[in-house]
């Protein structure tokens, strides 16, 4: 496999035009989150909000919640996007529940808005979903409410994360794909203005996984909704091809013709990859900082005659690992469909990664694409089935359009981050998309250099986080304060400090650098302290989106 080759599938580029041509327009202009002049009005009490008139919307309840633990009526999920800080104690707030009805949808778009009774910071924050949505991410809402935000979230138009009936309703697919978050945002702005008597000074959105896709969809299709968008780790914005990747991994490691990769096998691979590539960044710390520079070949641990089979791989296992690294390919053209998993991520390759029976791919293809509960992932054709699914669903659920010019004109700021150790959403896809945006802003230029990133980084920055065995890779960070300074003070983040914790105690910090920069140890001081690293520019920038671009040679001076 060698180092990851930066290639974008041509089908991605062709789909972009389909997205532009078939993107649903804004639902409504509407719901007057201000009176046209931005003047303050008489605030409504929490109880009075049930009488608030919003188009096609009913405020179902508005209740003051006392300060204290999370109410038993809604148990918080584990926080996953903004930070690892739980909020068992909430301040007093007004909890508003509303529902917006869309024509032809079997269920309304239900949303919640939490409004601090005291200490409102004057801002609104929208919270993204996970998986197929259907639930409110209370664990992500709580920490932001504690900060003083008015916070909003939605089920995107269907109740229950495991529900599937909605997947055969076209309007509900649109609601899940893009419209639900937009409607939530418009309604929440109106609720905020009614309750406080004035508009929110700034509006932010934060999401990872599906929530990351939702954030990018907002920037692409509803660029005026938010001033700042945090696309957290593992942004799944090419949802179709990401699920195709699950099927690919399943076929090569889980299906009848596949080669199972046990935890013991992937541990062998991980140890070998880290041993070869850990020191490439000048620091031996059990972490591969940049897998793009890792030349590890699975064939290097092929079992030799007489070798203990528990220490090496069979030829079939070598092939399976190579295929997971490579990612799905079109069997007819050889083109990449989606990037593979990165060297250093192997300890995370569990059944959720290599077995589609327990992944969202199984649900997606059975109930949304084919409407056939007997569908078997082993029958999937990586040529015709990918094409058919793209044509039918990409414009509805994929956020892959690189044209962010309207969001830039609005003055919006986009902060995206991705950990290399991610096994649910391969990190390389974030670089592919980022370079597509940079290329478009440079007139479609096919070969990028460092200077080409200047215009894009004025409003959009990508931060890649190191990953390895998972034991010491710093992967915890709260991006919102960096985004606030960028939006409100015009100070862009030159780096983000990520933390690793053991038993709740920070024992390692590292700077995440804006792509294509990378962190370099200064040569003195502890390698567990971020202050002893600095960001450097590479001598060469290799283009993910360029099919015939040059291979990377000596990327780090």
pLDDT in tens, 286-307: 888 889 889 999 999 999 999 9
| CB 366 within 8 Å of CB 420 | no
In terms of Cα–Cα distance, which of 152, 186, 199, 226 is closest to 34? 199
Average pLDDT over residues 174-189: 98
More confidently predicted of 545 and 529: 529
Q: Own/partner pairs for 161-169, CB < 8 Å, 24+ apart?
A: 161/130, 161/131, 161/132, 161/133, 161/134, 161/135, 162/134, 163/132, 163/134, 164/363, 164/366, 164/367, 165/106, 166/106, 166/107, 167/367, 167/368, 167/371, 168/367, 168/368, 168/371, 169/104, 169/105, 169/106
Could you give the maximum distance between any two Cα atoms of the chain, in Å?
83
Note the pLDDT of residue 257.
Answer: 83
Residue 535 pLDDT grade (very low, low, confident, very high; cuts 50, 70, 90)? very high
Phi and psi for 393 in degrees, rounded to 5?
-125, -15
- Residue 385 has a CB neighbour count (10 Å cut-off) of 16
Note the pLDDT of residue 552.
Answer: 34
Query: Could you give the C-alpha distances from 361 to 11, 73, 365, 389, in angstroms and in order?
Result: 19, 31, 6, 12
| CB 463 within 8 Å of CB 414 | no
Note the pLDDT of residue 360.
Answer: 87
Residue with tokens 């669903």: 393
Is the pLDDT at 260 greater than 50? The verdict is: yes
Average pLDDT over residues 368-378: 95
Note the pLDDT of residue 353.
Answer: 60
More confidently predicted of 488 and 556: 488
Residue 79 pLDDT grade (very low, low, confident, very high; cuts 50, 70, 90)? low
Is the pLDDT at 172 greater than 60? The verdict is: yes
Q: Which two tokens stand for residue 72?
A: 């038993």
* Inter-helix orientation angle 210-221/180-196, to 10°: 80
| CB 366 within 8 Å of CB 247 | no
| CB 192 within 8 Å of CB 93 | no
Q: Which two tokens stand for residue 49?
A: 């909000």
| CB 199 within 8 Å of CB 383 | no
pLDDT tens string 313-338: 999 999 999 999 999 999 999 999 99
Note the pLDDT of residue 46.
Answer: 98
In terms of Cα–Cα distance, which of 88, 91, 74 is closest to 138? 74
Count how many Cα atoms sit within 13 Å of the Cα of residue 64 in the half-sphere of its side chain. Answer: 11
The strand pair at 123-127 and 202-207 is best described as parallel
The strand pair at 150-154 and 109-116 is best described as antiparallel
In terms of Cα–Cα distance, which of 148, 226, 139 is closest to 182? 226
Query: What is the average pLDDT score of the chain?
Result: 86
pLDDT tens string 227-246: 999 998 665 688 999 999 99
Residue 355 pLDDT grade (very low, low, confident, very high; cuts 50, 70, 90)? low
Say what the pTM is. 0.91
Least confident of 179-188, 442-451, 522-531: 442-451
H helix runs in 294-427, sequence order = 315-326, 351-354, 360-363, 384-397, 405-410
Note the pLDDT of residue 500.
Answer: 85
**Burial, 555: exposed, middle or buried (Cβ in 10 Å; 0-12, 13-18, 19+)?**
middle
pLDDT tens string 265-280: 999 999 999 999 999 8
Query: Could you give the C-alpha distances from 36 to 28, 39, 159, 204, in angstroms and in order?
Result: 16, 8, 34, 21
Note the pLDDT of residue 202.
Answer: 98
Residue 477 pLDDT grade (very low, low, confident, very high; cuts 50, 70, 90)? confident
Is the pLDDT at 23 greater than 70? The verdict is: no
Query: Could you give the C-alpha distances from 321 to 16, 107, 258, in angstroms and in order?
Result: 31, 43, 11
Is the pLDDT at 24 greater than 90? The verdict is: no
Count how many Cα atoms sit within 13 Å of the Cα of residue 550 in the half-sphere of its side chain. Answer: 10
Residue 153, SS3 per DSSP:
strand
Residue with tokens 């300060």: 67
Query: Could you give the C-alpha distances from 199 to 55, 144, 229, 409, 449, in angstroms and in order?
Result: 18, 18, 18, 21, 42
**DSSP class per residue in 220-276:** HH-TTS-SEEEE-SS---SHHHHHHHHHHHHHHHTSTTS----HHHHHHHHHHHHHH
273 CB-near residues (< 8 Å, 6+ apart): 288, 294, 296, 343, 344, 346
Residue with tokens 């996984």: 209
Note the pLDDT of residue 51.
Answer: 97
Residue 546 pLDDT grade (very low, low, confident, very high; cuts 50, 70, 90)? low
pLDDT tens string 422-448: 888 899 999 999 999 999 999 988 788
């Amino acid at each position: 496999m060698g180092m990851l080759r930066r290639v974008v599938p041509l089908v991605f580029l062709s789909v972009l035009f389909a997205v532009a041509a078939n993107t649903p327009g804004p639902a409504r202009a509407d719901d007057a989150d201000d009176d046209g002049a931005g003047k303050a009005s008489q605030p409504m009490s929490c109880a009075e909000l049930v009488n608030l008139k919003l188009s096609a919307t009913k405020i179902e309840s508005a209740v003051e919640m006392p300060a204290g633990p999370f109410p038993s009526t809604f148990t918080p999920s584990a926080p996953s996007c903004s930070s690892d800080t739980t909020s068992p104690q909430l301040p007093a707030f007004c909890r508003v529940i509303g529902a917006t009805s869309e024509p032809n949808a079997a269920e309304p778009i239900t949303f919640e808005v939490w409004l601090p009774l005291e200490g409102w910071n004057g801002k609104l924050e929208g919270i993204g979903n996970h998986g197929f949505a259907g639930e409110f991410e209370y664990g992500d809402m709580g920490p932001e409410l504690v900060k003083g935000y008015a916070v909003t979230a939605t089920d995107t138009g269907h109740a229950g994360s495991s529900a599937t009936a909605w997947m055969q309703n076209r309007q509900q697919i649109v609601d899940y794909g893009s419209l639900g978050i937009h409607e939530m945002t418009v309604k929440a702005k109106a609720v905020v203005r009614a309750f406080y008597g004035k508009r929110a000074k700034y509006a932010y959105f934060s999401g990872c996984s599906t929530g990351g896709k939702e954030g990018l969809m907002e920037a692409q299709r509803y660029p005026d909704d938010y001033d700042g968008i945090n696309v957290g780790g593992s942004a799944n914005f090419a949802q179709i091809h990401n699920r195709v990747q699950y099927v690919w991994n399943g076929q090569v490691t889980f299906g009848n013709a596949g080669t199972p990769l046990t935890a013991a096998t992937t541990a062998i691979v991980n140890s070998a990859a880290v041993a070869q590539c850990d020191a490439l960044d000048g620091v031996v710390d059990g972490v591969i900082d940049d897998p793009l520079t890792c030349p590890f070949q699975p064939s290097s641990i092929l079992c030799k005659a007489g070798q203990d089979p528990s220490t090496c791989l069979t030829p079939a296992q070598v092939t399976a690992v190579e295929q997971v690294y490579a990612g799905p390919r079109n069997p007819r053209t050889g083109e990449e469909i989606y990037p593979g998993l990165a060297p250093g991520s192997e300890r995370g390759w569990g059944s959720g990664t290599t077995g589609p029976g327990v992944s969202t791919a199984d649900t997606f293809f059975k109930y949304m694409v084919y409407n056939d509960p007997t569908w078997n992932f082993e029958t999937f054709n990586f040529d015709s089935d990918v094409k058919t699914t793209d044509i039918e669903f990409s414009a509805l659920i994929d956020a892959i359009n690189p044209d962010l010019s309207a969001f830039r004109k609005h003055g919006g700021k986009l902060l995206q981050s991705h950990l290399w150790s991610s096994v649910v959403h391969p990190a390389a896809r974030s670089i592919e998309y980022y370079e597509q945006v940079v290329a478009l802003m440079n007139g479609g230029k096919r070969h990028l250099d460092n200077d080409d990133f200047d215009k894009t980084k004025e409003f959009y920055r990508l931060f890649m986080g190191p990953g390895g065995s998972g034991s010491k890779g710093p992967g915890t960070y709260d991006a919102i304060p960096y985004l606030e300074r960028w939006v409100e003070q015009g100070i862009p983040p030159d780096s983000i400090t990520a933390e690793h914790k053991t038993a709740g105690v920070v024992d390692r910090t590292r700077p995440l650098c804006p792509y294509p920069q990378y962190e370099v140890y200064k040569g003195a001081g502890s390698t567990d302290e971020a202050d002893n690293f600095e960001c450097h520019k590479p001598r060469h920038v290799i283009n993910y989106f360029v099919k015939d671009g040059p291979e990377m040679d000596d990327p780090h001076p």
